[in-house]
Chain A
Amino acid sequence: MGGAESGAISRDEHDFAFWEKRVDALVILAQARGLFTVDALRRVLEDMGPEAFETMSYYERWVAALNQNLVERGVYTVSELGARMERIAERGVTYGEAADE
């Protein structure tokens, strides 16, 4: 996107949410285990296309890229993830409740 026209740069800053920090930590740890490289993470991010930058937040794109790499590497399957996500949703309606086993 370098060189593309764009509007004003928003200078708002926020502290990252806990779930965002956890995504960051998982990416770093998975890379440290040799499960994928920084280039592999970026390949997925770039494959998402420019519309993902409009519709998803930064760490939403990261968690999607993390998942894609782990599935490709065979760490777990899509159905394993889906089943787990369903169980998590049953725990509660907020992040705090769902993150608590």
Chain B
Amino acid sequence: MPHDHSHEMSPSGHPYRTDDDVPLSYWQQMEIAIREILIEKGVTSAAEIAAQVEAMDARGPANGAALVARAWSDGEFRALLMRDAGAACAQMGFDIGTLKLIALENTENVHNVVVCTLCSCYPRNLLGLPPDWYKSRAYRSRTVREPRRVLAEFGVELGDDVEIRVHDSTADMRYIVIPRRPEGTAGLSRPELAALVGRDAMIGTGLARVPGAAPPGG
């Protein structure tokens, strides 16, 4: 039964993209064909594909936030994270596969931001799927050219004394930004700290939330 999804919002607060009810496109047709052929030839199975999609849906920035919260509250872990982020993830039980992961720590004088100028490399296992803008032509081209302006558009206004370091991801090297721990968070538990760490803060286009305040840059 055709119906209009366009005014409905998903649980994550984003509009649904029109899906099943729109006319079949050439590329959708190709997806169905490839999927059926791969299942027929035993390369994969319908169940395996469904499980993969389910795992994708379940993944969000929670693992990344947990990593940051622990780094903020455990000096030894923080040192390990900065030295060997893969080992730190393993200690948390987060599988990052064969990727090399590098943690970038923001300080009073240095702000890190991550981009993938070539395509859309992103630490999915820690942050979920990349947002649309991360994959956009505008973000990918401008972040390396005028990072200060791009950050300002995201609501991150940095003083001239703060150096901005832009990190360009590759297929096998990913970055995660460790934002600065906000003031007034000394007594917070790790889950409370993690709740202050949004996706954008770990890309570098946002900051960690101050308890009780609205997040800068969304």
Contacts and interface: CB of A to CB of B under 8 A. Distances in A.
Interface of A: 1-26, 28-30, 33, 35, 38-39, 42, 45-46, 53, 56-60, 63-64, 66-67, 70, 75-76, 80-81, 84-85, 88-89, 92-99, 101
Given A7-B138, A95-B20, A84 B33 contact: yes
Given A22-B35, A33-B43, A95-B24, A4 B49 contact: no
Interface stretch (B72-80, B125-133, B207-215): B125-133
A84 B36 contact: yes
A40 to B, nearest CB: 10
B32 interface: yes
A58 B141 contact: no
Interface string B39-62: 001011000110011001100000
B142 interface: yes
B118 interface: yes
A38 B147 CA distance: 28
Interface stretch (B11-19, B105-113, B157-165): B11-19
B20 A94 contact: yes
Given A3-B141, A63-B34, A10 B27 contact: no
A26 B31 contact: yes
Nearest to A7: B138
Contact of A17 (B19, B24, B142, B171): B19
A23 B44 CA distance: 13
29 contacts: A2-B118, A2-B140, A3-B141, A6-B138, A6-B142, A9-B142, A10-B132, A13-B131, A13-B132, A15-B14, A15-B15, A17-B18, A19-B32, A21-B53, A29-B48, A30-B43, A64-B30, A70-B38, A75-B41, A81-B30, A84-B33, A84-B37, A88-B29, A88-B36, A93-B24, A94-B21, A95-B28, A99-B20, A99-B28
A42 to B, nearest CB: 6
Contacts of B140: 1-2
B189 interface: no
A29 B118 contact: no
A63 B37 contact: no
Given A10-B133, A26-B34, A70-B38, 11 more contacts: A2-B117, A6-B141, A8-B138, A8-B153, A15-B14, A18-B19, A29-B43, A76-B41, A94-B24, A95-B25, A96-B20
Interface of B: 2, 10, 12, 14-25, 27-38, 41, 43-44, 48-49, 52-53, 56-57, 115, 117-120, 129, 131-133, 135-142, 144-145, 150, 153, 168, 171-172, 218
A97 B22 CA distance: 10
**Shortest 8 CB-CB contacts between residues of A and residues of B:** A2-B117, A96-B20, A25-B52, A4-B141, A84-B33, A9-B138, A6-B141, A6-B138
Contacts of B24: 88-89, 92-95, 97-98
B32 A99 contact: yes
A29 B33 contact: no
